[in-house]
Amino acid sequence: MSVKSAKLTLEGIEYDFPIVRGSEGELGIDIRKLRDRTGMITLDEGFGSTGSAKSAITYIDGEQGILRYRGYPIEELCGKASFMEVAYLLIYGELPNEQQYEQFGGSVRRHTMIMEDIKRYYDVWPRHAHPMALLSSVVSALSTYYEDSLDPFDPHQVQVSIHRLLAKLPTIAAFSYKKSIGQPKIYPLNKLSYPANILHMMFAVPAEDYGVDPDVERAMDKLLIIHGDHEQNCSTATVRMVGSSQANLFATVAAGVLALWGPLHGGANQAVIEMLEAIHTDGGDLRKWVDKAKDKDDPFRLMGFGHRVYKNFDPRSTILREASRGVLDKLGKHDPLLDIAIKLEEIALKEDYFLEKRLYPNVDFYSGLILRAMGFPLKMFPVVFALGRLPGWIAHWKEMNDDPNTRIARPRQIYVGHNERKYVPIQER
Ligand code: CMC
C-alpha cells in the first residue's frame, strides 16, 4: 500500500496526517499534531489502536503467529541461542561475536552478588510475602547502593547498571524464594551458566550436593528466551512510561516488575495452574469449565487463553507445549495437569466461541507446567517471567533514552466528572 497521508474531516475542515511505515509494512497515522491543529484528542482505552513508540527490538505479527527479536524468529533463537546471547541481542541490537559474548558474560558474572546489607531486608518481610513484592522492592533499593551508575545518559553508567541488574536479579529472586521457605540463602556460583545459576540458587541447600541437570538447564534457558521481549506489553509500556521521566534503570525496572505481577499479565501462568488444579479437584469435567468460560454471565475465563495481539497461535505456546512434555519426561514425572491442559486446548479449539473470538493458548498456558515440574511454587512463576523479561525491559529503556525524540509520556484524558460546584462546609452536607 502506498498511502502517504490520512484525511480527517471535522466540521467541514479537512486535515491531513502523515502515515508512518514500519519495516514490515505496518502503517500508522502520525497524530502528534492532532491536538494542536484540531483541539481534539483521540480516546483509546487500553491502547488497542495506539502506537506509543517506534521500536526496532521486537516484531510481532499477531495474525500469522510470528515473533522475532531483532529480526530473528523466536523458534530459531530457542533452538540455537543461549539466553545470554539473546539478552545481548535484545539490548545491543546484534548477536555478539565470541569476544563480545565473553566480555558481556564475564562482566555479568562478576556482579552476581548483592551487598550483604541487602540480605537484611529479607528479615523484615513476612514469610508469606509475595516474591514479586520483594523483587520490586530490592530492585528499587539497588538505586540507593549504586548511586555511581544512575545517570541514564552517561554511557558508562548505563553499561554498569545494565550488567549489575542482569547479574543481580536472579540472586534477588532466589533470596526471595529461600526466604519464603525458610531455607538459608544460597550464594551465586559464577562458574555456572546464567540459567544453571538460577536453578542452583533456588534449589541447592548448604547441607547437600546439588548438580544442575543439563536438560533442565536448557529448558530454563528456553523459558527465559521465550519471555525475553514482547514489544509494548503492559510491563514494558510501564518501563517506558516510568523511564520517560528519566528515572534510573533500577527504579524503572522495579515499576516493570510490579506491572508484570497482575494476573492478566505475568501472573497468568500462576492463574493457569490454579485453574487446572481447580478443574482436577472438581473431577476433570472439561465441558463444564469450557461452558463456564463461554457464559457471558460468568466472570470465569480460561486462563492462558487469548491475547491482545495474537489472533492465531502464540508461537511461544507451541514451543512450550513440546518443552513441557520434554521436561516432564526427563524428570520422570507425570503431571495430570498436563493431560488436562492438552485436552482443554483440544476441546476449546473446536468451539465456535474460541474460534470466532480467535482465542488461542498463550505463552502462559504451558509455561507454568514446566515451572511446576522443575519444582517452582506458584508464587515464583511471575518471578521467573521477570528474569526472562529483564533484557527486554532494559532494551526498551535504552532505546527510548537513545532516541532524541523521546518526550515524557503524558497521555491526555476526556474528563467526565462534575462541572464546577461550590464547596459545602462539612456540617451542612
Ligand atoms: N476465556 C474466555 N473468554 C475470553 C478469554 C478467555 N481467556 N479471553 C478473552 N475472552 C473474550 C472476552 O470475554 C471478550 O468477549 P466479548 O467480545 O464477547 O466481550 C473477547 O474474548 C475479547 O476479550 P478482551 O478481554 O476484550 O481482550 P483483551 O485483548 O482486552 O484481553 C487478555 C486479552 C489476554 C487479557 C484476555 O484474553 C484474558 O483475560 N485472557 C486470560 C488471561 C491470560 O491468559 N493472560 C495472559 C496474557 S499473555 C502473557 C502476557 O502478556 O503477560
- Per-residue DSSP letters for 89-122? HHHHSS---HHHHHHHHHHHHHT----HHHHTHH
93 CB-near residues (< 8 Å, 6+ apart)? 56, 70
pTM of the model: 0.92
- For ligand 1, whether the C-beta of 303 sits within 6 Å is yes
Active site residue 123: no
Residue 365 near ligand 1, beta carbon < 6 Å: no
Ligand 1 atom closest to 385 (CA): 52
- Kindly give the parts of the chain with pLDDT less than 70: 1
In the set 163, 307, 335, 396, the catalytic residue is 307
Q: Which atom of ligand 1 is nearest to the CA of 306?
A: 37
Q: Which is nearest to 317 in space by CA: 289, 349, 286?
A: 349
Mutate to test the pocket of ligand 1, among 264, 347, 367 (most ligand atoms within 8 A of CB): 264
The grid coordinates listed for 380 are 515464583
* 364: annotated active-site residue: yes
Q: How far is the CA of 306 from the centre of ligand 1 (A)?
A: 5
- The residue nearest atom 21 of ligand 1, judged by CA position, is 357
User: Amino acid identity of 14?
Assistant: E
- Ligand 1 centre and the CA of 301: distance in Å? 8
| DSSP calls for 379-419 | GGHHHHHHHHHHHHHHHHHHHHHH-TT-----------S--
* CA 300–ligand 1 middle distance (angstroms): 11
Q: Name which residue sits closest to atom 1 of ligand 1, judged by CA.
A: 301
Q: Is 367 in contact with 78 (CB distance < 8 Å)?
A: no
Span from the CA of 307 to the centroid of ligand 1 (angstroms): 6
Q: Judging by beta carbons within 10 Å of its beta carbon (0-12, 13-18, 19+), is residue 316 exposed, middle or buried?
A: buried
pLDDT, tens digit (0-9, with 9 covering 90-100), for 175-207: 999 999 999 999 999 999 999 999 999 999 999
Atom from ligand 1 closest to the CA of residue 266: 52
Burial of residue 97 (CB within 10 Å: 0-12, 13-18, 19+) is exposed
- Between CA 247 and CA 94 the distance in angstroms is 26
3-state SS assignment for residue 19: strand
Which residue, by CA, sits nearest to atom 26 of ligand 1?
A: 308
CA dihedral 82→85→91→94, nearest 10 degrees, is -130
Q: How far is the CA of 290 from the centre of ligand 1 (A)?
A: 14
Question: Backbone phi, then psi, for 275, in 5-degree steps?
Answer: -65, -45
Q: Cα(212) to centroid of ligand 1, in Å?
A: 37
**C-alpha span between 204 and 208 (Å, rounded):** 7
Q: What pLDDT shows up at residue 1?
A: 57
Atom 18 of ligand 1, residue of closest alpha carbon: 296
Ligand 1 site, residue 115, Cβ cutoff 6 A? no
- What pLDDT shows up at residue 257? 98
Alpha carbon separation from 370 to 10, 319, 325, 331 (Å, rounded): 54, 12, 8, 11
Query: What does the pLDDT read at residue 369?
Result: 87
209: DSSP letter: -
The predicted structure's pLDDT at residue 327: 86
